[in-house]
Structure 1
Amino acid sequence: MRCFRSRRFRRGSRTASSRSTSRSGSVDRAAAEEWIREHVDPAGAIETEHERPWATVLRVPLADDGVAWFKACAPVQAFEPRLTAELFARWPDRVAEVLAHDEERAWLLLADAGTPIGAFGNPPEAWLEALPFYAELQRGEAAHVEDYLAHGVPDLRIASLPQRYDDLLQHELPLASDEIARLREFAPRFVELCGELGAYEVPQTVQHDDLHMGNVYAEGERLRVLDWGDSSISHPFASLVVTFRFLEEVTGLPPADAWFERLRDAYLEPWGCELTPVFALALRVGAFAHTFAWVRQRDRLPDEARGDFDTGFRRVLCRALGQIDG
């Protein structure tokens, strides 16, 4: 893979985040800084990088212009520190280095991972490298699904999706009445699609569900996947719903661009090329599963944060609506 070079991005300054940037509560700063100092030696003041309803991130300066990152997760993604630590233990070359984590307090301390590939324009060439190693991780992690579910990773396995669809329809959605009617009419067909997808013998596993240019970092020739707080246990191929969306909306690739087939094939290589026919079906179902994950976040937001959140949520819902006609 070519070595990417560009200006450093400050974590939290991403312009293409797939979630709202509404500010929320705070972490116990004194306790957090004491814990941080138990694991690293800060070379300066610890600064708040950002506060979100789902997490607070602190920037920890280290000697020789180094930096570490502290993350305090809200209950909605309290599973993230343990999940990240487990992934790092088995895949240290593919995720951020975990310096420490506290499962009870949902705290995580990470080494710096470089620069998000969004700093380089979200080039599809980077995904050509990232997707196969991410798929290998997913395949390996299928053996740990039950453990993850027992420790709070959300369950979006195929069998649960029809009920999730019904739950979606019970929510007040940022859609027009005719769009909601289309969702209601599609419900029986969605159940059929889930049955078709479940018939394929693809192991359900960790699905990042926010796999975009702000969450894959480059440092020299090494790429790492960060920010696992939107993850679920689900159909693995659904990960590319977000990846492909950002390649369209940010990189500007038209939906029929040949890059999408190249990236699909690169991702499927560790799974087996015979699974090509199921890929489109998985993305179709996955577009709706992605809305269920957004609902889970939205349900835990304070009322004042929902307006900004719903701007992005409507976009996600409309992309799911686009899958109704196949």
Structure 2
Amino acid sequence: MTAAAVPHTGWDDPHWQAAALDWVTEALARTGRRVTGPVEPRIRPWSLVWRVPTDAGAVWFKANSPGTRYEAGLLATLARLTPGRVLDPIAVDLDRGWAVLPDGGATLREVAGGESDPSRWERVLPEYAELQRVTVAHVDELLALGVPDHRPEVLPELFAQLLDDRAALLIGTPDGLTTETYDRLRGLLPAYAERCRWLAGSGVAPSIQHDDLHDGNVFVASTGHRFFDWGDASVAHPFGTLLVTLRSIAYTTGRASTDPALVRLRDAYLEPWTDRFERDALRRMAGVAAWVTVVSRSLSWRRALATADPTRAEYAAAVPGWLEELLADEPD
């Protein structure tokens, strides 16, 4: 299904807004809270977020587009499976993809204040890895919620289907793939499938994969860190997380991807798996997983933009842009 085939979410419709506010108000009333002022909106093509003032402090309402509607159920499930590692929703509506969440406090980005030292991540990444290890036993439950299936054995077919969606890849337009690049990506399918087969047989089981884990999506608390904004998440090889996370850390700290500090962070993330695997094997898995996850990133953008909201055009180049990176950094 192309983005244009999906109806607009209607977030600017006064009737929709009134219904959503009624739901939020009723959900808060069940916990003894009362809305005390107007909401403060932030709207993207893939989600609407309201900051809602209450007599017990601000809470947050999130509504997802059809392509990311599973996030509400995923939040509730992760809160049950990994208490303290995500925000525990005050209320969720699975059918509509709505959630009311408590305020999470300061993010890692806010606490770091632009510092160039990435060492804070040495504590964050093992905590996130443990969340992933817990959810390994529950992937069927996550898939039943509608969390996208991006396991290595599934990705080659998804890659082929994505290449068939020429409209999403903007082929021949200034923001899209050239015909030559498109043909090169077509030619990469066998090698991509081979890497995925190897990764599927590597012994590390699929789990939840955030797919957009950066310092703006981590809350800092005295008891540890909590991870939020799961709208890009999928069931996948867990190490695919490193694609966005290490790239984001490199960007915010002004470091090259080969910087020893980033290598240490990769190893800190992988450490929990050293109870079953040699470190060199884990490092090779991490490199292959990050490469195959480029397709996952392109798919997550296409899914997020599956709306007729006209502002989606501002972000549409991300779909071909991510996919093109497969050609730049194929692992050995």
Same structural fold, with TM-score higher than 0.5 when normalized by the shorter chain: yes
Match of 1:74 among 43, 46, 65: 65
The question of whether the paired residues in 1 share the 8 Å contact of 2:68 and 2:303 is answered with no
Distance 1:152 1:100 in 2: 19
Aligned length: 302
TM-superposed deviation, 1:147: 1.3
Equivalence for 1:313: 319
Q: For 1:98, what is the secondary structure of its paired residue?
A: coil
The question of whether the paired residues in 1 share the 8 Å contact of 2:25 and 2:35 is answered with no
Equivalence for 2:137: 143
Distance 2:60 2:217 in 1: 14
Equivalence for 1:252: 254
Equivalence for 1:88: 79
TM-superposed deviation, 1:325: 6.3
Using CA pairs below 8 Å that are at least 6 residues apart, which structure has the higher relative contact order? 2
Which range moves more in the overlay, 284-293 or 83-92? 284-293
RMSD: 2.2
TM-superposed deviation, 1:133: 0.9
Amino acid corresponding to residue 29 of structure 1 in structure 2: Q
TM-superposed deviation, 1:46: 3.3
Query: Which portions of structure 1, spanning 4 or more consecutive aligned residues, are displaced by more than 4 angstroms?
Result: none
Q: Structure 2: which 5+ residue stretches go unaligned? A: 1-7, 170-175
Q: For 2:45, what is the secondary structure of its paired residue?
A: coil
The question of whether the paired residues in 2 share the 8 Å contact of 1:135 and 1:267 is answered with yes
Q: For 2:220, what is the secondary structure of its paired residue?
A: strand
Q: TM-score of the superposition, structure 2-length normalised?
A: 0.84
Matched, 1:34 2:26: no
Match of 2:96 among 105, 123, 130: 105
Which range moves more in the overlay, 121-130 or 236-245? 121-130
Amino acid corresponding to residue 121 of structure 1 in structure 2: G
Distance 1:70 1:283 in 2: 32
Tell me: CA distance 1:69–1:63, structure 2 relative to 1, closer, same or farther (3 Å): same
Amino acid corresponding to residue 103 of structure 2 in structure 1: D
TM-superposed deviation, 1:138: 0.7
Equivalence for 1:160: 154
Equivalence for 1:116: 107
Tell me: CA distance 1:302–1:280, structure 2 relative to 1, closer, same or farther (3 Å): same
Amino acid corresponding to residue 252 of structure 2 in structure 1: V
Equivalence for 1:46: 38
TM-superposed deviation, 1:251: 2.7
Q: Percent identity?
A: 37
Distance 2:120 2:27 in 1: 32
Q: TM-score of the superposition, structure 1-length normalised?
A: 0.85
Matched, 1:304 2:296: no
